[in-house]
Amino acid sequence: MVGGIPQATAELAWRVHPKGTDEMRVRDALGPLFADEDFMAGAFAGMYSERGQPGLSPALLAMVTVLQFLHRLSDRDAVAAMADRISWKYLLGLDIGAAGCDASVLCEFRARLAESGRADALFDVMIARLREAGLVRARGRARTDSTHVLGAVRVLNRIELVGESVRCALEEIAALSPGLLAGLLDAGWAERYGRRVELARLLGRGSSKSSADKLARQIAGDGAALLGAIDADPVARWMQMLPTVVLVREIWQQQVQADGKGGWRLKDADQLAPSAARIHSPHDPEVRYSTKGRGQDDDLEWVGAKVHLTESCDEDLPRLITDVHTTPATDPDVTATGPIQAKLTARDLPPAEHLMDAGYPSAENMTNAADAGIALIAPITARNGRNAKTGLFTPYDFEVDWQAGCARCPAGATSRSMRPDKRGLVTFAFSRRDCVPCDQRGTCTRAALPMVRRLTVPEQPVHQAVLAARADQDSEQWKTLYNKRAGIEGTISQAVRGPDLRHARYRGLAKTHTQNVFTAIAINIARLGAHYDKPTPPRRPTSVSTLCHNLGLTPV
Ligand code: SF4
């Protein structure tokens, strides 16, 4: 357990750091951040064997891991700092002569936390401490934004992907049952799979498209031969269940097909699985390829995950991160709005105002937030959707008269029918009499004649809520409030420059999320350290500034 601060540790810490450090100030203000009892129930049940005590206090390990991320250290450096740094010993309540622990303990601890939503439970514990201390509160103001996280894997092209997946399977089989491979391997396999698969090594720099295509066919054939050998040998059936073999089969389904001449080749690009399902590395099958931008050449492309950070931004309280939400890179921001608000509500921290950028709101999200008493402050843009992107009239260009059950188009025509559906949408259809001869048809619909324009909008309450939100966002008051959203960019910047939020240290979405949670707790510690520090004295004016002031050129 994390105990009180030994006197010798306290004396030395204050002698070495007379002004204190973030760790020391937080320890004095809030006490130990975690207790071993926190790790005994709920999501933590089963984290440790019920027989005997955990080897090291989980509360202590959690705090060491937070400090590790705060100072961006490796596991080895973190356990060394645990023995060396007096400010760490102060926070951890360690004796001055206490040694560190084996670095592998931190790795095992993280692996346990990555299971069964325990990382979120750990964050819940931290938030509960902050709420008890009055540092965060319900019905305040929150803001959210997302950023990319690069996976902890090499980015592979398609030939390297299939080749590397075969190599991983060969490595595992060669270690477990090399006999199966004896009939398959030859000098070509040794060259291709003896080391990691890289086009530059196998083809040399500046290789031609035809040589790359030949290699792709060769590797596709190798993988098919390997899977065929495993399936054909009744004694080797158990190998079908090996994770690397399962992965090869999955990658082959996504990437490879018979060429119709008895061989194999890579599929054409338009035959590939959607991005959300496509595997990009055998070393981390959960990383996904995504892009961010406006469809220009300078769009950001990455392979990895995405993280959404939410922080409180009440005027009278420190800005503290209150939620961390990690998703596959391909998940659009709009799908995160509901889960983030649900988690804030479960932590008893539902905001009264939630500031987000234009990627998060949708008609459904706005009404769900309103039902939960949350005002979703986000720009509603008409420039989404196929019609808007191609310059056609958007639903906001039409007037809906819910009482009369009809819609009026920009040309002044009235719809002839209104049909609600099970998806919660309502479709208004216009008549051929109006649409066929209409001189605005070119900016209204791309449907071929004599098809008519159909307008589909959400049901009345949702549609009206969206219209009201759009009307609000033209006011100066709304703009002033929305300007406060920009502060979350600084938080993401702090997390990127400090704990290196944008580079996953570990593989797999669960471990990446655990890293992101520790990053958020570390940022909170740094901010609380600053919050409990003495206020910084105002900057001394420059000589020129003083002179200008004395000459009456600048206001007092
Ligand atoms: S095409 Fe039909 S719906 Fe569109 S503006 Fe013309 S009349 Fe109205």
Inform me whether the pLDDT recorded for 383 exceeds 60: no
- Tell me the backbone φ, ψ of residue 141, rounded to 5 degrees: -120, 140
DSSP structure string for 165-194: HHHHHHHHHHHH-GGGGTTT--HHHHHHHS
Which burial class, exposed, middle or buried, applies to 534 when counting CB atoms under 10 A from its CB (0-12, 13-18, 19+)? exposed
**From the alpha carbon of 455, which atom of ligand 1 is closest?**
3
235-238 long-range contacts, CB within 8 A, separation 24+: 236/177, 236/180
* Torsion sign over Cα 43, 48, 50, 56: negative
Q: Name the residue with the closest Cα to ligand 1, atom 2.
A: 435
Q: How far is the CA of 387 from the centre of ligand 1 (A)?
A: 14
Contact 169, 241 (CB under 8 A): no
Inform me whether the pLDDT recorded for 27 exceeds 80: yes
Q: How far is the CA of 367 from the centre of ligand 1 (A)?
A: 29
In whole angstroms, give the CA distance from residue 432 to residue 453: 9
Closest Cα partner for 396 from 469, 294, 479?
A: 469
**Other CB atoms within 10 Å distance of the CB of residue 488:** 25
Q: Name the residue with the closest Cα to ligand 1, atom 5.
A: 411
Pocket test residue of 387, 444, 455, 457 for ligand 1, highest count of atoms within 8 A of CB: 444
Contact 119, 113 (CB under 8 A): yes
Q: How far is the CA of 384 from the centre of ligand 1 (A)?
A: 20
Inform me whether the pLDDT recorded for 286 exceeds 80: yes
Q: Name the residue with the closest Cα to ligand 1, atom 4.
A: 444
Inform me whether the pLDDT recorded for 556 exceeds 60: no
CATH fold for domain 119-127+136-153+296-379+473-533: Nucleotidyltransferase; domain 5 (3.30.420)
In whole angstroms, give the CA distance from residue 101 to residue 162: 40
Q: How far is the CA of 415 from the centre of ligand 1 (A)?
A: 9
Q: How far is the CA of 433 from the centre of ligand 1 (A)?
A: 10
Please give the structure tokens belonging to residue 190.
């040794």
**From the alpha carbon of 435, which atom of ligand 1 is closest?**
2
**From the alpha carbon of 409, which atom of ligand 1 is closest?**
8
User: What is the average per-residue pLDDT within 142-152?
Assistant: 97
Domain span(s) for CATH 3.30.420.10 in the chain: 119-127+136-153+296-379+473-533
Please give the structure tokens belonging to residue 100.
């560190």
Percent of the chain residues topping a pLDDT of 90: 72
Cis peptide before 450 (omega within 30 of 0): yes
User: What is the average per-residue pLDDT within 19-34?
Assistant: 94
Q: How far is the CA of 414 from the centre of ligand 1 (A)?
A: 9
User: What is the average per-residue pLDDT within 328-354?
Assistant: 96
User: What is the average per-residue pLDDT within 520-541?
Assistant: 90
Contact 369, 354 (CB under 8 A): yes
DSSP structure string for 254-267: HHEEE-SSSSEEEP
- Ligand 1 binding pocket (C-beta < 6 A) is 409-411, 413, 430, 434-435, 438, 440-441, 444-445, 453
Residue 214's pLDDT band, with cuts at 50, 70 and 90, is: very high
pLDDT at 54: 60
In whole angstroms, give the CA distance from residue 381 to residue 361: 9
Closest Cα partner for 340 from 319, 365, 363?
A: 365
Q: How far is the CA of 138 from the centre of ligand 1 (A)?
A: 48
**From the alpha carbon of 441, which atom of ligand 1 is closest?**
1
Q: Name the residue with the closest Cα to ligand 1, atom 7.
A: 435
Inform me whether the pLDDT recorded for 296 exceeds 90: no
Closest Cα partner for 333 from 522, 488, 113, 107?
A: 488
Pocket test residue of 399, 445, 446 for ligand 1, highest count of atoms within 8 A of CB: 445
Q: How far is the CA of 444 from the centre of ligand 1 (A)?
A: 6
Look at the block and give the residue holding tokens 């937080």.
Answer: 26
**Half-sphere exposure of residue 276: CA atoms within 13 angstroms, side-chain side:** 4
**From the alpha carbon of 434, which atom of ligand 1 is closest?**
7
Count helices and strands in the chain by DSSP H and E runs:
21, 13
pLDDT at 208: 85
Q: How far is the CA of 410 from the centre of ligand 1 (A)?
A: 7
Question: What is the overall mean pLDDT for the chain?
Answer: 91
Range with the poorest average pLDDT among 313-317, 410-414, 461-465, 520-524: 461-465
Residue 502's pLDDT band, with cuts at 50, 70 and 90, is: very high
CA distances from 313 to 123, 126, 130, 275, 488 (A): 18, 18, 14, 35, 9
Range with the poorest average pLDDT among 157-171, 226-240, 381-395: 381-395
Strands 288-292 and 425-429: unpaired
Please give the structure tokens belonging to residue 438.
């209409």
Q: How far is the CA of 218 from the centre of ligand 1 (A)?
A: 57
- 529: part of which helix (H) or strand (E)? helix 509-531
Inform me whether the pLDDT recorded for 19 exceeds 70: yes
Please give the structure tokens belonging to residue 154.
């090499």
pLDDT at 392: 85
Widest CA span in the chain: 96
